[in-house]
Chains A and B, each alone.
Chain A
Amino acid sequence: MDPAEVEFLAEKEMVKIIPNFSLDKIYLIGGDLGPFNPGLPVEVPLWLALNLKQRQKCRIVPPEWMDTDLYTFTWNLNTDCNRRLNATGSDWTRLSAISHKYQFTFIIGQRANPRTSLTRNVMAVIDKPEGQSFTR
């Protein structure tokens, strides 16, 4: 299973965003989303969240599990285990989703909340080169 396909599957996970636009409910084939009101959090699939973020229409809220301690734990697991386990299973999908969240966390860290310790710590962990296990 190549990385692009794993990312494709990871993008189905739901994530909370805070939009800066308003739109009433949209009825996608895969489910209903919205309505969108500026400043109010709403759950959307990751592929939509990333697209909206790119168009600067929302802010993505890191999920609770994206904490540094859990992250280092799963990061170690990721570097030690067979890559093929990166398939649709909730924890492994989250690992794939991390590569995307890296992009937006990086953007958030740079432009929105550079001083938040959460984003700083997570980014420090993400920037660790692969193959090195991260020990505290």
Chain B
Amino acid sequence: MADGLSEGSDLSAGEEGQEDVLTPAELITKLEEAWLNEKFSPELLENKSELVECVMEQLTHMEENLQRVRKGDVKASVHRMEIDRIRFVLSSYLRFRLQKIEKFFPHVLEKEKSRADGDPSFLSPEEFAFAKEYLANTEVYLRAVALKHMPPNLQNIDMLKAVPEPCLDSFVFLRVKERQENILVEPETDEQREYVVDLDEGSQHLMRYRTIAPLVSSGAVQLI
């Protein structure tokens, strides 16, 4: 009996031309890694919109297949459970991003404005629209509730100063995926001096986020 639900495995149509074609299993692993990184990082990470799109494609494809199969099939229930699990990870990932956008909205917009044209974007188009609207709504709200009642020289508010920045010095747990050498660790107090560490593959550490931020975006470490 051929498995009518097995047709979702071909990914080559959905990928953008730059990367090698990923198997669906690798795609899901990457999604889970992105989810964990986003969860534990104090700042908003790079937007992984192609990953999100591919996963959505896989999910809708699988759901279409499930519509065609008769109900009550054991296989259908297993597929459905897996779809629910993947959908949870995807929604949770997007939720974390939205929470961080809401928390740091002026800084996120400033970062997006000041990035060079060639750099990858931090926000998807929808997230960018959301952030702008959030900024506009907050300003209108503050003005209507408080600012217009203040003396005229105090009626302006600088959002960049008013909203706290993400704390890049918070400590994060990480696992090293690719060996790194000569990572410079800044001193925290005046008595300490800066020192250099090597990170071995597979080791787990607890470090300040600022030290390893570039390694997270390059994929050399995984936050846990």
Which A residues form the contact surface with B (CB < 8 A)?
1, 8, 21, 23-31, 33, 47-48, 51, 84-85, 87-89
- Give the interface residue-count category, chain B: 20 to 34
Q: Complex Cα distance A30/B58, Å?
A: 11
Residues of B176-224 at the interface with A, using a CB-CB cut-off of 8 Å, are 204, 224
For the complex, is B21 an interface residue (Cβ under 8 Å from A)?
no
Q: Complex Cα distance A23/B74, Å?
A: 9
Q: Complex Cα distance A84/B174, Å?
A: 12
B39 A1 Cβ-Cβ under 8 A: yes
A26 B3 Cβ-Cβ under 8 A: yes
A26 B81 Cβ-Cβ under 8 A: no
Instruction: Provide the residues of chain B in CB contact with A21, threshold 8 Å.
Output: 74
Instruction: Provide the residues of chain A in CB contact with B173, threshold 8 Å.
Output: 84-85, 87
For the complex, is B25 an interface residue (Cβ under 8 Å from A)?
yes
Instruction: Provide the residues of chain A in CB contact with B79, threshold 8 Å.
Output: 26, 28
A-B contact count (CB 8 A): 54
A-binding segment of B4-12, B100-108, B123-131, B147-155? B4-12
For the complex, is B36 an interface residue (Cβ under 8 Å from A)?
yes
Q: At the interface, is chain B mostly helix, strand, loop or mixed?
A: helix
Q: Which listed residue, A26, A31, A85, A89, touches B5 by the CB 8 Å rule? A: A26
Instruction: Provide the residues of chain B in CB contact with A84, threshold 8 Å.
Output: 173
Contact with A along B51-63 (1 / 0, CB 8 A): 0000000100010
A89 B224 Cβ-Cβ under 8 A: yes
Instruction: Provide the residues of chain B in CB contact with A47, threshold 8 Å.
Output: 81, 85
Nearest first, the 8 A-B pairs at minimum CB distance are A27-B6, A87-B224, A29-B24, A31-B25, A28-B82, A30-B28, A30-B25, A26-B75
B78 A48 Cβ-Cβ under 8 A: yes
Q: Which listed residue, A23, A29, A51, touches B86 by the CB 8 Å rule? A: A29
Closest to A24 in B: B1
Q: Complex Cα distance A47/B89, Å?
A: 15
Instruction: Provide the residues of chain A in CB contact with B62, threshold 8 Å.
Output: 29
Instruction: Provide the residues of chain B in CB contact with A27, threshold 8 Å.
Output: 3, 5-6, 8-9
| A46 smallest CB distance to B (angstroms) | 12
Q: Complex Cα distance A23/B8, Å?
A: 19
For the complex, is B88 an interface residue (Cβ under 8 Å from A)?
yes
Q: Complex Cα distance A31/B24, Å?
A: 8
Q: Complex Cα distance A85/B85, Å?
A: 23
| B219 smallest CB distance to A (angstroms) | 16
